[in-house]
Amino acid sequence: MSKEEIISVIIEPEPDIRDVDIYEYPYQLFNTVTIKVETTCRKFEFDIYNGYYWNGADIPVILWSIVGSRHNPEFRKPSMLHDFMLQYKKYILKEVLHNEVSASEYRRLTSLIFCKSLVMQGTKLFKAKIMSWCVDVFQHYFNKKEWTK
C-alpha cells in the first residue's frame, strides 16, 4: 500500500490573523476557521477557534537569510495550522481521525499538511519540502516524548 499523500487543504473563511504579543506569541486568530483536509486515504475537518494564538514558524535566526524569517507572511497560515494540529494532537487523533492513525503517522501527516499549505501560500515546492522535512525531523528527535503518549 502506498503512503498517504495530501490532495487538498482548504481553510475557510479567510483567517483574520493579526500581529499581537500574547505570552511571547506573535500571532492571534480573530475569527474561527474550518480546516478541510483531503488525502489519498481520508477526508476530515476541524475548526481552529477565534482567539487561538501561536508562535509562527520556528526558523533559527541563522537560517533567516536562506529560508526567510518566522515573520514571513507566507508562513503564517501554515504555521497556524501546523501548530494547532500539534497542540491539539490528542483531540484530533481521537475526535476527528477516530484513532485510525498511529502517532507517528499523525506526525507525518502534520508535516505533509504543513508542506501543502506552504505551497498554497506561495512557497516554492523544494523549499516547502525542506521546511516540512526539518519540522518532521525536529519532532521525531527533539520532541520524541510527545509522540510516545
Per-residue pLDDT of the chain (149 residues; tens, 9 = 90+): 578 999 999 999 999 999 987 777 889 999 999 999 999 999 999 999 999 999 887 776 676 667 766 778 888 999 999 999 999 999 999 999 999 998 888 988 999 999 999 999 999 999 889 888 877 777 767 665 565 55
Q: What is the pLDDT of residue 26?
A: 87
Q: Which residues pair with 8 in a beta bridge?
A: 38
Which pLDDT score is estimated for 49?
Answer: 97
Cell of 17: 490573523
Q: Among 51, 102, 106, which Cα is nearest to 82's?
A: 106
Which amino acid is residue 136, in one-letter code? D
Distance of alpha carbon 33 from alpha carbon 139, whole angstroms? 25
Q: Which three cell numbers stand for residue 94?
A: 481521537
Whether residue 54 contacts residue 80, with contact meaning beta carbons closer than 8 Å, is answered with yes
Q: Within a 13 Å sphere around the CA of 18, how many CA atoms are in the beta-carbon half?
A: 9
Neighbour-count burial of 111, counting CB atoms closer than 10 A to its CB (0-12 exposed, 13-18 middle, 19+ buried)? buried
DSSP H helix total and E strand total for the chain: 5, 6
CB-CB neighbours of 91 under 10 Å: 13
Cα–Cα–Cα angle for 87, 93, 99, rounded to 5 degrees: 160
Backbone angles phi and psi of 126, in degrees to 5 = -60, -45
Q: d(Cα 124, Cα 1) in Å, to the nearest integer?
A: 29
> How confident is the model at residue 127, as a pLDDT?
87
Sign of CA dihedral 17, 137, 111, 75: positive
